[in-house]
Structure 1
Amino acid sequence: MLTTTKLYDIFHIVNGEHSDPHTVLGMHEMEEDGRKAVVVRAFLPNAAGITVIDYANKRKKYPMERLHADGFFEVTIADREEWFRYQLEYTDADGNTWRSYDPYSFSPTLSEFDRHLFGAGTHYEIYEKMGGRLMTHEGARGAAFSVWAPNAKAVSVIGDFNNWDARRSPMRRLGESGIWELFLPAAAEGDKYKFHVTQCDGRVVDKTDPYGVYAEVRPNNASVLYPLKRYKWKDRRWMTARRKYDFRTAPMNIYEVHLGSWKRAEGDRFLTYTELAEQLIPYVKEMGYTHIEMLPVEEHPFDGSWGYQVTGYYAPTSRYGSPDEFKQFVDACHQNGISVILDWVPAHFPKDDFALARFDGTALYEHQDPRLGEHIQWGTYIFNYGRKEVANFLLANALYWMDIFHIDGLRVDAVASLLRLDFCKEEGQWLPNVYGGSENLEAIEFLKHMNSVIAEREPGALMIAEDSTAWPGVTKKVDEGGLGFSLKWNMGWMNDFLSYIKLDPIYRKYHQNKLTFGMAYHYAENFVLVLSHDEVVHTKSSMIGKMPGDVWQSFANLRLSYGFMMGHPGKKLLFMGGEFAQYSEWSEARSLDWHLLQYADHQEMQAYVKELNHLYAEESAFWAEDFDPNGFQWIECDDAESSIVSFVRRSQEKELVFLCNFTPVVHRGFSLGVPQEGVYHERLNSDAARFGGSDVINAVPLQSRAEPAGRCPFRVELDVPPLGMVILEREQPKKQPRAKKPKTRTAANGTKTDAKRKHPEKNTEKTAKQADLP
């Protein structure tokens, strides 16, 4: 019997080193003594016996012969000439038996076309093919496993279904694709698994699934089989409307949140996705935000990375629940009119041995040369964007969150580090491109390709660049020479404004340019103004902690800051905790300081932000022409001595006039330019008593005068609050009723006569009343 199998093959199967076990194991047609027959081989360590069961032939049984003490079995079936569907019956040393389809009797679950597209970098649904996927294949229920490891000597899948024995489920390599594949009918939902990789140098490592959709709760890191398409979405209207969404002319007021520290439950445990849907979404809606942006929820092992060192790009973190529970959270956001943006990290990944790093013993996802492949300051690897399979992994991942989880947009982290080869590197630590420059040409091409594909396949979805450079055309369309992002974080505005507002008001007049410079370049890109998480950590202080002066002045400065930001052109983002003036710097390790809301100062700040947010959402002048020069006009921006700036925001429907006083000086009867003649009413005043201010308000309507002020032909006189922001709205003139034309009728002779003359007595009373009108 040994003659049917080479000893070489038996040896490599038993030792888990065979690169194509399907050529040895399973059923194969053969000739024996000139007659056709089939042979079946199986390997199960420590099995006492294995029997082939022919279901098509009255469940006839063919006991197999042990060829190797470690569990290699074989049987030649002389009465069958062609391959047939069968099961294996296993018996252990205690006499227990179980049956299963033979994993090595199935054809590949990836087609040659799948492999071709993946190799070309254009398989945009590769997440439906790679990794561990529950499915029915050729009539059997189980799970298909596939992993890209082109330089590995051997790969097997280990998990709950095979007692984590690396010898039991060796995978086959599919041609030159570098993909290893196996279908296991024994695998089921909830089974944990990893890939056991014999690397090119012979080192053996157990790797989590790069395409795994669910993972164990850290510190454990195995992948978990989970059905991705079971959840029944309830947001069809939202998703249909999203395809026509135009962010340029829509409100966008983003609440940036870290799910693990927004609020904690009893015992300081994390809130689940379900609990967050019940608590976070109503809060966001009540506060008047239009979007939630989450710090990365992709699986990551270290809480202190805030999610920015990802090990599971396709898995929402299990810290807060299952993938379906995350879908439920997103679904609930949509049903409450809230868009969901996810932080996404394609710039780098951590060096954890169980994840992407040196996956098959070579620099597979990263560059081999550390001058190209490592972020020295961050201690992470840089993706090799020039490798098509790597670019495909990332591009498909971006689409995956929008397709499978209905995410409305991605905020792409650390774009500056993608664009520049010399990012945060000294001379000698980086390599120039082929033209001798510092531009990362492969990453630039990746970004353009990704943004083009997403714009075509997911219209209405947002791609937001977190970019601190002056790279031109970040939000210009790719076919116009740009990178193709929808929006760009305005890091320059953030740095300038925060450095200005932290100054004692007496010194602000010397730094007026920091307050106004943002408008000099505003129309170069589609900007989001951000006061983000990065500005309230690492000794930078909280937002209220940045404000100078005593307690009253600090809160007044913060109200003024938010008011100026909301009036300034551009979309808006504020990190959680800033809305109620949390004093402590943010920490991922604890809840926000919600207890502060027992104090009036914090209650009043929260009430102010809420009213400001709702006014923003209500009035199109705040956002309808954010990126059109017609939407903004300076009234006065050069009065550094008083540190007062004023401007107009407008849409086709309305104009709003903003005045911001960055000193604690009250100005009575201040002349403010206004663009049109009329009566102006105060819509919002940050100094109102209900917000904790000194109540220097303008309760009486303000009548304009035909005298120029600033850059406007008219002026009003108002009281300017200390460290305050005022929004004025012009009263719309009442429209005069149009005179009604008398109804006519056509006489028999063709002439038109007054219809009222037919019965003049019926119009006597009405005519008398009309005679009294002015």
Structure 2
Amino acid sequence: MTEPLPLDHGHLQKLVTADLVRPDHLLGAHPVTENGVEGVRFAVWAPAAQHVSVVGDFNGYNGYDNPMQRLEFGYWGVFVPSARKGQRYKFRVTGADGRTLDKSDPYGRFFEVRPATASIVWDSDYVWHDDTWMADRTQRFDRPVSVYEVHLPSWKKRDDGWFLNYRDLAHQLGEYVVYMGYTHVELLGVMEHPFDGSWGYQVTGYYAPSSRMGSPEDFKYFVDHLHGLGIGVLLDWVPGHFPTDEFALAKFDGGPLFEYADPRKGFHLDWNTYIFDYGRNEVVMFLIGSALTWLQDYHIDGLRVDAVASMLYLDFSRTEWVPNIHGGRENLEAIAFLKRLNEVVHHMAPGCMIVAEESTAFPGVTTPTPFGLGFDYKWAMGWMNDTLRYFEEDPLWRKYHHHALTFYNAYRTTENYVLAISHDEVVHLKKSMVMKMPGDWYAQRAGYRAFLAMMWATPGKKLLFMGQEFAQSTEWAYEDGLPWYMADQPDHRGVMNLVRRLNALYCQRPDWHTGDLKDEGLLWIDADATDESVYAFLRRDPGSAAWSLVVANLTPVFREQYPVGTPQGGDYRVLLSTDDGEYGGFGTQQSSLTASDEGWNSQTHSLRLNLPPNSVLVLEPVQPPAVSDRR
């Protein structure tokens, strides 16, 4: 429990000047004792409102019983002795336009289950058990990060079709994530939102976990339990836009308040949503306060910031737009906000990661401030698009697109990248991942196994959306639980076994993760075998001599005794073959793996490998390589 701050001049002024103070410690609903009397103190920002009162269970929603006092800087406040934790409430706001509307609390900590929209007075008394985890929560870029992206409302459901409670999810999801070998989960659909079909991306409760799956204490238990299992928890966070629902932030005091006044800046035509006014300090504080609430109060380990490109550009997906003061297309206020966000988060929640979903070539996304935006990671949208286009090609034509898979290496260290295959790739008739692959069902699974192996072997942190780890053949449907019956079928179970093995290699082998963000992490052996559609490269640990050899044959042609250069002679062992029977392949095995002294691919030695169709092989020398062998 955090003690609320007094609504005095000094603290209110800090909100106006965007000083380092948590706005939710002043605003919202806070159970307090004033002059020996227990009650709830309510406070809200509505500078243009003509009148504000608080209504709820404690006064029968009578707008005359508890009028709020106008304070400095456009804030309103009142102490209600009859109010208690667990009671519903709203702010009845008579706006500048003369209309009177009941508004949910922008700083509400708990809400009614949709379609009801009232806020609930809440005060958390949860006792955490993750002190060891929190003490060790430091950001190290050489650590493995393998993320399982999850939409909790549809990961699994109860037998009656309703949502599982956060506590049930903690045990079921936690056990599964440990089994699969992921290091983190990333949650979408957690912050309170009225419309299930928005997947949680049209947020109305920026300070509250969705009540669909339980209380704030239930959600804290979820995070606490996953931390106890050694799993980090990330959240999708949406500061780029908010919905037009009248009960929430939209035109909160009768006119534009949280949103830009000019619709050319303040309205998203694509999503039918409002855009936050990043030029108002109170709005900046509202958003940064939300981020800190999740990272500090809920012990969340990081945020993935949604739709950053839509924030950065004034002409994003629009023909009519307002240039900045220099005549450019960049939203300078949003850029300043993102820098401020990352500076404050890294200062007040050290060790947390902030990830940008940024789909353009905006420079310096992961460069520290003041020279860059200051994010820790950025989704590799270019890698995703290039790689998917390649694998969706008929193998007959892949030789004409060969360098779609090598181009990422030309820029991969310009930012700190996450290789993400997210929910966006498996909805809206895009097909599930396995069904994107060409050919019959066997070829599709072989191609998908090769895709996954290339993804995990390519430098960069990893993210895979739920269901894709067992080759879900249907598109994701938010209304339903995942088709878990598929995971019990051999064809799908094989892909699941492969993802487990890939996570184990990635997390346990330093050469597969310490060089994720470094040039030395990968050395191409053969990047130009276009006619054969074969790729060969080394994954390397920059801090030691350790390396492994990755060879991919991405056509349905068996290649016998194919020459591949290596930097070391002697015997080799297979760490992974996606054609292994355990993963659903034919189990093609090669009896002898000894490198000869014959140089190849500019290397001193070479192997003759039998390459199964649509497959990836990973090998390592039986004898550890000498330091002098690294080049």
Q: Which residue of 1 aligns with 2:128?
A: 233
Matched, 1:163 2:57: no
Matched, 1:703 2:594: yes
- 2:568·2:625 contact (CA, 8 Å) conserved in 1? no
Aligned AA (1:625) = G
Aligned AA (2:255) = T
Q: 1:201 offset after TM fit, Å? A: 2.1
Instruction: For 1:389-408, list aligned pairs within 5 A.
Output: 389-408=282-301
Q: SS at 1:656's partner residue?
A: strand
The structure-2 alpha-carbon separation of the partners of 1:108 and 1:650, relative to structure 1 and needing over 3 Å to count, comes to closer
Bigger radius of gyration, 1 or 2?
Answer: 1
Q: Which residue of 1 aligns with 2:629?
A: none
Q: Which residue of 1 aligns with 2:165?
A: 272
Aligned AA (2:129) = K
Q: SS at 2:243's partner residue?
A: coil
Instruction: Return the alpha-carbon distance in structure 2 between the equivalents of residues 610 and 108 of structure 1.
Output: 48
Q: Which residue of 2 aligns with 1:684?
A: 576
Aligned AA (2:181) = G
The structure-2 alpha-carbon separation of the partners of 1:138 and 1:676, relative to structure 1 and needing over 3 Å to count, comes to farther
- 2:5·2:26 contact (CA, 8 Å) conserved in 1? no
- 1:156·1:167 contact (CA, 8 Å) conserved in 2? yes
Aligned pair count reads: 621
Q: 1:122 offset after TM fit, Å? A: 1.9
Instruction: Return the alpha-carbon distance in structure 2 between the equivalents of residues 629 and 323 of structure 1.
Output: 43
Instruction: For 1:485-496, list aligned pairs within 5 A.
Output: 485-496=375-386
Q: 1:603 offset after TM fit, Å? A: 1.3
Aligned AA (2:290) = N
Aligned AA (1:474) = V
Moved over 3 A (4+): none
Identity %: 48
The structure-2 alpha-carbon separation of the partners of 1:204 and 1:733, relative to structure 1 and needing over 3 Å to count, comes to closer
Aligned AA (2:15) = F
Q: 1:609 offset after TM fit, Å? A: 1.2
Q: SS at 1:183's partner residue?
A: strand
Residues 225-267 of structure 1: CA deviation (Å, up to 9, x unaligned): 1113x1000000111100x331x10000100000011111111
Q: Which residue of 1 aligns with 2:98?
A: 202
1:606 to 474, 482, 496: 496
1:245 to 129, 139, 155: 139
Matched, 1:516 2:412: no
Instruction: Return the alpha-carbon distance in structure 2 between the equivalents of residues 423 and 235 of structure 1.
Output: 42
Aligned AA (2:222) = F
Instruction: Return the alpha-carbon distance in structure 2 between the equivalents of residues 211 and 733 of structure 1.
Output: 57
Q: 1:276 offset after TM fit, Å? A: 0.3
Q: Which residue of 2 aligns with 1:302?
A: 195
Residues 562-589 of structure 1: CA deviation (Å, up to 9, x unaligned): 0000000100000000011111110110
Instruction: Return the alpha-carbon distance in structure 2 between the equivalents of residues 598 and 460 of structure 1.
Output: 38
Tell which has more relative contact order, 1 or 2 (C-alpha 8 A, sep 6+): 2
- 1:636·1:711 contact (CA, 8 Å) conserved in 2? no
Q: Which residue of 2 aligns with 1:464?
A: 355
Q: 1:699 offset after TM fit, Å? A: 4.7
1:575 to 465, 475, 482: 465
1:483 to 373, 378, 402: 373
Q: SS at 1:488's partner residue?
A: strand
Aligned AA (2:171) = E
Q: 1:212 offset after TM fit, Å? A: 0.2
TM-score where L is the length of structure 2: 0.97
Alignment gaps of 5+ in structure 2: 627-631
Instruction: Return the alpha-carbon distance in structure 1 between the equivalents of residues 590 and 234 of structure 2.
Output: 39
- 2:156·2:481 contact (CA, 8 Å) conserved in 1? yes
Aligned AA (2:85) = E
Q: 1:316 offset after TM fit, Å? A: 0.4
Q: 1:145 offset after TM fit, Å? A: 0.4
Instruction: Return the alpha-carbon distance in structure 1 between the equivalents of residues 560 and 96 of structure 2.
Output: 79
Q: Which residue of 1 aligns with 2:227?
A: 334
Matched, 1:154 2:44: no
RMSD: 1.4
Residues 249-298 of structure 1: CA deviation (Å, up to 9, x unaligned): 00001000000111111111111101101101100110000010001311
Q: Which residue of 2 aligns with 1:770?
A: none
Q: 1:606 offset after TM fit, Å? A: 1.1
Q: 1:615 offset after TM fit, Å? A: 1.9
Q: Which residue of 2 aligns with 1:281?
A: 174
Q: 1:721 offset after TM fit, Å? A: 1.3
Matched, 1:311 2:311: no
Q: 1:677 offset after TM fit, Å? A: 2.8
2:69 to 172, 181, 201: 172
Q: Which residue of 1 aligns with 2:29?
A: 132
Instruction: Return the alpha-carbon distance in structure 2 between the equivalents of residues 108 and 263 of structure 1.
Output: 40
Residues 711-731 of structure 1: CA deviation (Å, up to 9, x unaligned): 422211121111001110112
Residues 18-40 of structure 1: CA deviation (Å, up to 9, x unaligned): xxxxxxxxxxxxxxxxxxxxxxx
Q: 1:692 offset after TM fit, Å? A: 1.2
TM-score where L is the length of structure 1: 0.79
Q: Which residue of 2 aligns with 1:739?
A: none
Q: Which residue of 2 aligns with 1:102?
A: none
Instruction: Return the alpha-carbon distance in structure 2 between the equivalents of residues 338 and 510 of structure 1.
Output: 42
Alignment gaps of 5+ in structure 1: 1-106, 736-774
Aligned AA (2:238) = V
Instruction: Return the alpha-carbon distance in structure 2 between the equivalents of residues 733 and 410 of structure 1.
Output: 39
Q: Which residue of 2 aligns with 1:6?
A: none
Aligned AA (2:40) = A
Residues 473-505 of structure 1: CA deviation (Å, up to 9, x unaligned): 0000003x1000000000011011101101111
Instruction: For 1:410-429, list aligned pairs within 5 A.
Output: 410-426=303-319, 429=320
Q: 1:170 offset after TM fit, Å? A: 0.2
Q: SS at 2:411's partner residue?
A: helix
Instruction: Return the alpha-carbon distance in structure 2 between the equivalents of residues 170 and 451 of structure 1.
Output: 38
